[in-house]
Amino acid sequence: MRIDLDTGHIEAYDFFLEAEGSKGDIIINSNASSFPLEIGDNFKVAWDGSLFAKNASLQGMIQSTEGLIGGWYVGTDTLEGGGKYVVTETDGKLTVTNNGGSKIILKSSEGSIAGGILKPLGSTKM
């Protein structure tokens, strides 16, 4: 280990640091096989950058090629909910397909709606 007292820089190759606190431990372990950084039981960072955060509140833009949010699977170009609906976008059209194969197609550029069976909810009276 090397400590530079002028800059406060600490350099070490194999190290283990554990700080015990009332809300949980903070562990930094350069020899850990999976999570070199752990803060309590709810926050961990893996060597590959994977993040585990229980009860996290994230703000701002999140970019992902896939994931699961609120029971909806997010794919590269699809959004699937509860095995009942698949939402896709191609050529400026948004298509919603249910598990029976019925489709609703929304075309934003022309403001039109096309589809198989549409059942309006509520009244259309003004």
Higher pLDDT, 73 or 11: 73
Domain positions in the chain: 2-53, 67-115
81-91 pLDDT, tens digit per residue, is 877 778 877 77
For residue 60, the model assigns a pLDDT of 92
* The pLDDT value given to residue 124: 45
CA–CA separation, 120 vs 69, rounded Å? 28
Q: Rounded distance, CA 47 to CA 6, Å?
A: 30
User: How would residue 54 be classed by pLDDT, with cut points 50, 70 and 90?
Assistant: very high
Give the β-pairing of 51-53 and 67-69: unpaired
Task: Please compute the mean of the pLDDT values over residues 78-104 and round it to a whole number.
Answer: 78
Tell me what pLDDT residue 115 has: 53
Cα 85 to Cα 17: distance, rounded to the nearest angstrom: 48
The proportion of the chain whose per-residue pLDDT surpasses 70, expressed as a percent, equals 82
Report which of residues 104 and 34 the model is more confident about: 34
Helix, strand, or coil here: 118?
Answer: coil
Residue type (1 letter), 75: G
Q: pLDDT tens for residues 8-40?
A: 777 777 777 778 777 778 888 888 888 888 888
